[in-house]
């Protein structure tokens, strides 16, 4: 149930084992979120060492460890090669298909599934089980039931509802007594109280080559100023701790280093060397090397900038930004929350529904952008399929 990466990965493993497999997708075509993800260059996985890679899934790392170790990033790259869709490692360590988009990979994958005999049904929604345990479906021809030997639910989270991940399955599982952690935005932007002038001038402007810090965690990269806050790669990387701080205290104060390539002393020397008659804007642009959005952000933090070069350098290196809320979940790249792992056994099978396995983003895990989301979706789908095969062997 569900034609995203997790569902299709499960279908492939099961079909290769000789089982008759049907993929049921509620949208008119499968893997729509995958196609959207590929618009900016499909980031499939990451090339960093496996132990560091696995740490990105904390606190759910122990529950995803076996699935990802069995199907690690290199295995995903090998799988792409077998579909004649070779990959490459970008300068950031992220892995992309050479075609740099999702559609060729998806076409090749669907063709393989078709050759394996996988049947695809679209425009059909799973609505639960009937009194006899058969699957209840709602399709174009109306309600129907379907008897199967095993089911893999890969129904997605609650971000991007227009692409099929709307969380409509939550009440069905909760009615069965299955614990579902509330969905919250992950890899999403946060709100900040910009002044009207700053928001008007810089909404949509990038902050390049910065570092964002919260507590002991610091991430380098880029961000984008929005009309009501901030989003982008460095924000997504710290999405979980920022969200948790806001949930606990109503706000999170992060620090932005606008020149992470320079230490405070070196930056202070540059500022001290500015010509006496240069305007403050010129000093920030030439001596500090700040872009207009970065200089504007600095002035948002301190209307009266310090005249002392050392104090100004210290501020540039630690610009405080108060974040007060989360952008809506339908604007998030992914979602946190989902079915609690405690309700699943080691095969990803529901303890209260033998023969029903879960995979993908409907499980209670999250990860930053960078290839971690897709890697875990592929790996958990394949793990759920192996769980089905193991269950068939021992039941």
123 φ, ψ to 5°? 55, 35
Is the CB of residue 32 less than 8 Å from the CB of residue 55?
A: no
By three-state DSSP, how is residue 391 classified?
helix
275 φ, ψ to 5°? -70, 140
Per-residue pLDDT, 394: 87
Is the CB of residue 49 less than 8 Å from the CB of residue 129?
A: no
More confident residue, 289 or 275: 289
Q: What single-letter DSSP state applies at residue 238?
A: T
Mean pLDDT of 336-365: 97
Answer yes or no: is pLDDT of 219 > 90: yes
Q: Give the distance, in angstroms, between the CA of residue 161 and the centroid of all CA atoms in the same chain.
A: 15
Please count the helices (runs of H) and the strands (runs of E) in the chain: 15, 19
Per-residue pLDDT, 345: 97
Quick one: 242 exposed, middle or buried, by C-beta within 10 A (0-12, 13-18, 19+)?
A: buried
- How far, in Å, CA of 388 to CA of 68, rounded? 17
By three-state DSSP, how is residue 73 classified?
helix
Answer yes or no: is pLDDT of 102 > 90: yes
Mean pLDDT of 187-201: 95
Lowest mean pLDDT, pick from 34-48, 345-359, 360-374: 34-48
Instruction: Give the tens place of pLDDT for each residue, 4-54.
Output: 999 999 999 999 999 999 999 999 999 998 998 877 789 999 999 999 999
Question: Rounded to the nearest 5 degrees, what angle is found at the Cα of 158, between the Cα atoms of 154 and 159?
Answer: 110
pTM over 0.85: yes
Q: What single-letter DSSP state applies at residue 273?
A: T
Instruction: Give the tens place of pLDDT for each residue, 116-169.
Output: 999 999 999 999 999 999 999 999 989 999 999 999 999 999 988 888 889 999
Q: Which residue has the tokens 């993908």?
A: 360
- How far, in Å, CA of 3 to CA of 27, rounded? 9
């Amino acid at each position: 149930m569900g034609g995203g990466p997790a569902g299709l990965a499960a279908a492939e493993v099961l079909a290769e084992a000789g089982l008759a497999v049907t993929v049921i997708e509620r949208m008119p075509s499968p893997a729509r979120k995958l196609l959207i993800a590929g618009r900016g260059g499909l980031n499939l996985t990451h090339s960093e060492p496996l132990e560091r890679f696995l740490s990105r899934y904390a606190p759910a790392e122990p529950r995803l460890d076996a699935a990802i170790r069995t199907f690690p990033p290199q295995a995903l790259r090998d799988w792409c090669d077998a579909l004649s869709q070779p990959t490459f490692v970008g300068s950031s360590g992220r892995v992309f298909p050479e075609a740099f988009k999702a559609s060729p990979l998806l076409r090749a994958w669907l063709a393989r599934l078709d050759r394996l005999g996988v049947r695809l049904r679209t425009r059909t929604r799973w609505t639960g089980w009937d009194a006899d345990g058969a699957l209840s479906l709602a399709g174009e021809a109306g309600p129907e039931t379907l008897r199967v030997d095993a089911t893999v639910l890969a129904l997605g989270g609650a971000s991007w509802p227009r692409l099929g991940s709307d969380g409509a399955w939550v009440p069905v599982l909760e009615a069965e007594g299955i614990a579902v952690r509330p969905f919250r935005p992950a890899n999403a932007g946060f709100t900040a109280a910009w002044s009207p002038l700053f928001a008007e001038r810089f909404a949509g402007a990038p902050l390049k080559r910065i570092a964002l810090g919260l507590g002991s965690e610091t991430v380098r990269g880029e961000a984008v100023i929005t009309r009501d806050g901030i989003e982008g790669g460095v924000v997504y990387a710290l999405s979980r701790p920022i969200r948790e701080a806001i949930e606990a205290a109503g706000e999170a104060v992060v620090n932005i280093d606008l020149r992470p390539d320079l230490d405070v002393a070196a930056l202070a020397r540059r500022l001290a060397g500015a010509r006496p008659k240069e305007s403050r804007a010129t000093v920030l642009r030439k001596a500090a090397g700040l872009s207009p959005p970065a200089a504007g952000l600095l002035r948002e933090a301190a209307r009266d900038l310090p005249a002392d070069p050392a104090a100004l350098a210290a501020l540039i290196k630690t610009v405080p930004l108060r974040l007060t809320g989360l952008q809506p979940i339908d604007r998030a790249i992914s979602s946190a929350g989902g079915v609690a792992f405690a309700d699943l056994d080691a095969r990803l099978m529901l303890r209260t529904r033998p023969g029903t396995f879960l995979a993908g983003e409907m499980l209670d895990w999250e990860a930053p952008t960078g290839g971690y989301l897709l890697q875990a979706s592929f790996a958990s789908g394949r793990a759920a399929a192996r769980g089905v095969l193991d269950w068939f062997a021992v039941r």
